[in-house]
Chain A
Amino acid sequence: MKCTFTPSICSYCGTGCGVLFETIDGRLNSTIPMKSHPVSQGKLCIKGWNLHEHINSPMRLQKPMVKTFGRFINTSWDEAIQITADRFREIIDQYGPDSLGVLVSAKMSNEENYLAQKLARAVFGTNNVDHCARL
C-alpha cells in the first residue's frame, strides 16, 4: 500500500489556493486544503474541495475528438492540430484576421498567456485578446 501527498495549486480560478492531493496506490483519493499555504490558509471553496472528482471519471475526455458529419470521432493530436490550423486559415482568408479572438485565462502561467497573445498577434494578426476574468 502506497500513500503519497502531492502539494499543488487549485486549477479552477486565478486565486491559486494551495491543495494537497492524497493518492492511495496511484489513485487520486481526495483533496485536502494546504494548511500553511499563504494564499488560502487552509480554506477552499466547493470547486477546490472536489478537484479529484473528475480525474477518475469515466466521462473524462482523454483523446482529441473531431466533429465530423455531426458526430465526434477520436483522432490523433497531429491530425487534430492540423484540422484546427486549416480551419483557422480558412476563416482568416474568408473573413479577415479580426474575425478570430483568443481568450486566455487567469489560471495559466504568464508564459502561457504570453504565448497565447503572441499566437493571436503574430500568427493570426488580430488584437482580439481577452481574459476570462472580464467575461
Chain B
Amino acid sequence: MRDLSVLLTFMAAASSAFAAGPTYPPDPFNDADFKDAPLILDVSHPSRGRGEASLMYAGSVIDKYTQHRGLMLQFDYAVTQTLGVGLTFGFMHGQLTNIVTDDAGIIGNKVGGPAGCVTKGWPNAPECQDINPNVPDYKQMTGVVDALVFWQPLYGKINVVSELDVNLQAFVLAGLGINGRRKIEATVNDHPVAPSDYTLAGGGLGEGGLFGDPNPHLTLGTGLQVFLLDWLSLRAEVRGYISRETFQFEGDSVESSYLAQYWFFQTGLGFILF
C-alpha cells in the first residue's frame, strides 16, 4: 500500500508535464540554427561584384531548315545584387534539316520530284540550274558576339537531399549583338537519276567565316544557375536571337523585310573568377 502511494505521488507529479504546452527556447543549441529569415536570406553566393566565366554548349530548338550546334563563352559581372552585365562570344556550326535534305524534302523534290530536274531533263532544263531552297530563314548563324544585361531577382535554395543546401539563381537577360551568316549551296550532280543526286557546299566546320555576312540582332533569354561549389556553377538557359532579314516572298516583286528568330537551349559550367 505504501509502495502504491509512492507510485501515485510520482504519477501526479509527472502529469503536470501534460498540463501546459512545452516551451521551446528560440535557440536551444546557441548556434542560430533555425532563425527562418536570416537563414534563407543568407546568400551563400552573393551576386554583387561577382565575376564569372561560363562555357556553354548551345543547340537550336524548333528548327525549320537549319539546326545549329555551338559553343558559347561568356563573361559576366554583377554590378548589384540583382543586375549584371555580360559579354558573349559564340561559334555555331549549322546543318540543314531533313526537311531540306531528304529524298522527299525540298532539294530532293527539285532534283527527282515530278517537276524536278530529272523529270524535266538534265542538263538543260531550268529546274537543274538552281536547286537551292527558296525559303526564308535558310541562312545559318556562324559567329555570335553579344553585350548583355542580366536581371537576377530570384535567389533560392533547394533541398536535394536532407542536409545538402544547394543554392540557385534565376535570371532573365537582354542584349544586342552581331552574328555572322552563311548559306549552303546545293548543286545537282552530273547525270542525276535519283532525288539524292546533288551536292551541298559550304557547310563544313568554319566555312563561311566567323563574322561573314554580319547581321545585328536582339538577344532575349532566361535561365537558371545552380551553384555546385564556391567557384563552380551549372547554367541552363534558353536564348533567342531576333534579327531583321529580307526575302522575296512568292508573289512579291521585291524583297521585303521580316523578323527572323533562332532559339537555343544552352547549358554549361560557370567558373566564378572573383
Are A and B physically bound partners?
A: no
- Chain B contacts to A: CB under 8 angstroms: none
- Contacts from A to B (Cβ < 8 Å): none
